Amino acid sequence: RYISKISLQSCFDKFEEQNRSSISGLTNYTDVKDFLNECVSSQENEPASEEFTTGMTFDWIKCEDQAKTSTVYNVSRTDLNYIQTTAVHLNWNESFTLLKDKYLEEGMSEDDAIDKARDNASGTKDICEVNTVSGALFWFTVMSTIGYGHAAPVTVSGRLLVGIMGFFSIMCFAIVVSEASIITITIFDDMFERIRFKRLKKRLTSLIFWILMIGVSFSVAMVFTFLYRRLYKNVWRNSRRLSGVLWW
């Protein structure tokens, strides 16, 4: 594994700190090289891309190495993030190594090859794909103004995009809901006229009726959610593909 410039700089800092009290103040090249080799070796078990992926989240993408992953178990979100982060780390190191070897074959010096490979290496290529279910669920909460607490973008551009598109989506959603409400009310009014159910024409009675209807709708949604969770845990949790699709 290869460490980045930041990690290499930390090794230089450690060497300087240890030799600051040197009487002569002079250090030969061999001492520096031996110290850096030992410092690098002590970090060889740490992924080279760790500094770039610390705190990575996978709210709208899924990253897994299909060739090395046979089963996705029923794990927590924290464990799933760790698994995906590890996959990105390993993929970045493989990409870095391939690019470095390629640049060396093209005649670059080792330092230039390492610098260029580090800049061009990718940890997400070929193993990451858009999590359409999670993304659609997030956007539904935005445009419907539910906002139930799903992770929001942390970058300025991401928040700006959600803010601008969310504003127009909310207006469009309001128009759709209003049109749907008019159609629904028309259908119910016609139905009530046909069965001569005149009690709903009273405001208080109508208010109580619609409150009960909303309560019934939420109850049905809760029942379906409960059944889904039970079915997912007991039947589908060992299905790798289905588990990935249903995870959000």
pLDDT one-digit tens code per residue, 188-245: 777 777 766 666 666 676 677 778 878 888 888 788 777 766 665 555 444 444 444 4
Position 45 scores a pLDDT of: 43
Q: Are strands 61-63 and 128-130 parallel, antiparallel or unpaired?
A: antiparallel
Higher pLDDT, 161 or 33: 161
pTM: 0.44
Which two structure tokens, joined as six digits, stand for 172?
């469009």
In this model, does residue 41 exceed pLDDT 50?
yes
* Residue 248, pLDDT score: 39
Give first-to-last CA distance, the chain, whole Å: 33
Q: Which long-range contacts (CB under 8 A, 24 or more apart) does 203-207 make?
A: none
What's the rounded mean pLDDT across residues 165-186? 81
| Rounded percentage of the chain residues whose pLDDT exceeds 70 | 60
User: Partners of 137 in the beta sheet?
Assistant: none
* pLDDT at position 131 over 50: yes
Check residue 46 and give its pLDDT: 47
pLDDT at 147 over 70: no
Q: Above 80 in pLDDT, residue 99? A: yes
Q: CA separation (Å) from 57 to 82, 114, 152, 154, 240?
A: 9, 27, 11, 10, 20
Q: Residue 43 pLDDT more than 60?
A: no
Checking if the pLDDT of 55 tops 60, the result is no
Chain position carrying tokens 């990935």:
244
Mean of per-residue pLDDT scores for the chain: 70
